[in-house]
Amino acid sequence: MTRIDDTFTRLRADGRKAFVSYIMGGDPDHATALELMKGLPGAGVDIIELGVPFTDPMADGPTIQAAGQRALAAGQTLEKTLDMVRAFREGDTTTPIVLMGYYNPIYNRGVEQFLKDAVSAGVDGLIVVDLPPEEDDELCIPAQAAGLNFIRLATPTTDDRRLPAVLKNTSGFVYYVSITGITGAAAAQAGDVGPEVARIKSATDLPVIVGFGINTPDSAAAIAAVADGAVVGSAIVKMVGEGRPVPEVLAFVAGLAEGAHRA
């Protein structure tokens, strides 16, 4: 049982849906990002997705691309992102942390070394958006052997022929991308998402969490009502990019969490 598994067990027992928030590691700088990260559980966040900045983030929209550029310009690296996890774990040993990013920084570090460092830092899961199931031997299977959940994305174009491959080695939860395209591109619609979540859940016992296109408490509630939880990223990252103070960002996050939890 990982922290992610424990969290969903607890939420189910409480009759609540999950609220997952994404922030970019090192955005706008290391200290501010760490302050924000440390405040997320108190704002109602159940699982933290922590972005690893990368120079070619092909799945990300302009908001998160800009966040990655800010972080890189401020000197953020994979190692410094792991340092954020280590610092967070000094005060919080229960909130799950999922690193989300691209394979290149992991490959450059070396898979074996990266997994050792991630586990020792306190990482619980990985979302690596540019490694398809056909490459599971590369990172997915070693990660799970090391005790990390490997979380796969399903999308509106993941048909019934493709879905078994996506689910085969997935653990922790399934991340359903509610729209086609990049992050922050459009609004998620519960009427479209609900049947797709039901289709995925008919093929797996894993929780299905929905992200992309959620930016208000009401939209978080609507999406969480038809899934096991909701993810918000771009709307939070946008506030960071606008230079809003951390308490203001956390107040916004708390509203989103309340929306998801009332579903």
Predicted confidence (pLDDT) per residue in 62-105, tens digit: 999 999 999 999 999 999 999 999 999 999 999 999 999 999 99
φ, ψ of residue 211 to 5 degrees: the values are -135, 175
SS3 19: strand
- pLDDT for 212 equals 87
182: pLDDT strictly greater than 60: no
φ, ψ of residue 109 to 5 degrees: the values are -75, -30
- Region 102-119: mean pLDDT is 97
Tell me, yes or no, if 60 is annotated catalytic.
yes
CA distance 170 to 186: 26
CA distance 227 to 175: 10
- Region 111-119: mean pLDDT is 98
- pLDDT for 65 equals 95
pLDDT tens-digit series, residues 16-26: 999 999 999 99
Residue 34 CA neighbour count, 13 Å, CB half: 17
- pLDDT for 263 equals 85
- pLDDT for 249 equals 98
Six token digits for residue 122: 């306190």
* Choice among 60, 136, 196, 228 that is catalytic: 60
CB 170 within 8 A of CB 200: no
pTM of the model: 0.95
- pLDDT for 36 equals 98
Domains of the chain: 3-261 (3.20.20.70)
Tell me, yes or no, if 135 is annotated catalytic.
no
DSSP 169: T
- pLDDT for 183 equals 53
- pLDDT for 187 equals 63
- pLDDT for 105 equals 96
Six token digits for residue 51: 């972005």
The H-assigned helical ranges of 90-233 are 103-109, 111-121, 140-145, 163-167, 190-201, 217-225
* Choice among 5, 6, 14, 49 that is catalytic: 49
SS3 140: helix
pLDDT tens-digit series, residues 4-53: 999 999 999 999 999 999 999 999 999 999 999 999 999 999 999 999 99
Confidence of residue 186 (pLDDT cuts 50, 70, 90): low
CA distance 198 to 201: 5
